[in-house]
Amino acid sequence: MNAIVKARGLRKRYGKVNALDGIDLTVEPGRIVGLIGPNGAGKTTALKALLGLTRFEGTLEVLGHDPYRERAEVMQRVCFIADVAILPRWLRVRQALGFVEGVHPRFSRERAESFLAKTDINPDSRVRALSKGMVTQLHLALVMAIDVELLVLDEPTLGLDILYRKQFYETLLNDYFDDQRTILVTTHQVEEIENLLTDLVFINDGRIVLNETMEAVGDKFTELLVAPDRVEAARALGAIHERDVLGKRLFLYEGVARDKLAELGELHRPSVADLFVAKMQGVAA
């Protein structure tokens, strides 16, 4: 199958700022890709380019189309959930389903109603009467009922409590995702999605600083926890980051043999959050 997203030398400038600085990225079908970066790293600009909302330099194909020049074709096969679900507050839930049914040829009202039946949302309620979590559930129901190949999520659970966040991702994984669909998600709550991801992309200052499958991340990166008397020996092996943890020193390595590290202390697999901090801060403790 052809790549869902293919970017080569993707650039975008705002004045003197390189929001995107020569990005190369390929997203294959049936993957769940986490695009992670600090504020101002270029995530939002990358998503705007993918959705055809901004011009860019370089080459970019989404489902075989230039998203800016052929946005109508792209948006027939792509859905987007932003950090704020924008639905008119006066609209009733039933009316929202009817509206999307009328404007999108790939929308299944039956599928949307089936999802909403699992929630506490009353079809006759107005959006203004729903909690933020319920509005997000409604937005997700509308999107999940559209048969598309790419779903783009930009901080989709921002501001939700932990129960709604958990329900959101469980629904996404169990009721929506399959090997025919691809999901691209940006979030600062990386600890909540790392077990869902198949691929991990870190972006900073408009450049990709890590682009690996989750399997490769597990193979390449290792944490080593050492006692104070082994710190210098551990440091000599070239860690990419180190920090204090409860009176010991925790080192993170890339591409260093585990048997060599095991001689010095306890080995652990780094979390995505710890790996992100290491890649953003570098060797500095």
Mean pLDDT computed over 4-23: 94
CA contacts within 13 A on the Cβ side of 189: 17
Q: Amino acid identity, residue 204?
A: N
pLDDT band at 283 (very low <50, low <70, confident <90, very high): very low
State how beta strands 5-14 and 17-27 pair.
Answer: antiparallel
Which pLDDT score is estimated for 285? 42
All domains of the chain, ordered by start, with CATH? 5-205 (3.40.50.300), 216-281 (3.30.70)
Q: Amino acid identity, residue 88?
A: P
pLDDT band at 31 (very low <50, low <70, confident <90, very high): very high
What share of the chain has pLDDT > 90, as a percent?
Answer: 69
Mean pLDDT computed over 33-45: 92
Look at residue 168 and tell me whether its pLDDT is greater than 60: yes
Which pLDDT score is estimated for 284? 45
Closest of 68, 72, 64 to residue 103, by C-alpha: 72
pLDDT band at 85 (very low <50, low <70, confident <90, very high): low
Q: Tell me the C-alpha to C-alpha distance, in Å, between residue 27 and each of 53, 181, 211, 224, 242.
A: 19, 11, 10, 32, 32
CA distance 20 to 270: 28
pLDDT band at 278 (very low <50, low <70, confident <90, very high): very high
Which pLDDT score is estimated for 84? 65
Most distant CA atoms of the chain, gap in Å: 69
Closest of 128, 136, 42 to residue 82, by C-alpha: 136
pLDDT band at 16 (very low <50, low <70, confident <90, very high): confident
What share of the chain has pLDDT > 70, as a percent?
Answer: 97
- pLDDT tens per residue, range 221-255: 999 999 999 999 999 999 999 999 999 999 999 99
Q: What is the mean pLDDT of the chain?
A: 91
Question: Facing residues of 107 across strands?
Answer: 146
Which pLDDT score is estimated for 54? 93
- pLDDT tens per residue, range 111-145: 999 989 988 999 999 999 999 888 888 988 898 89
Mean pLDDT computed over 178-207: 90
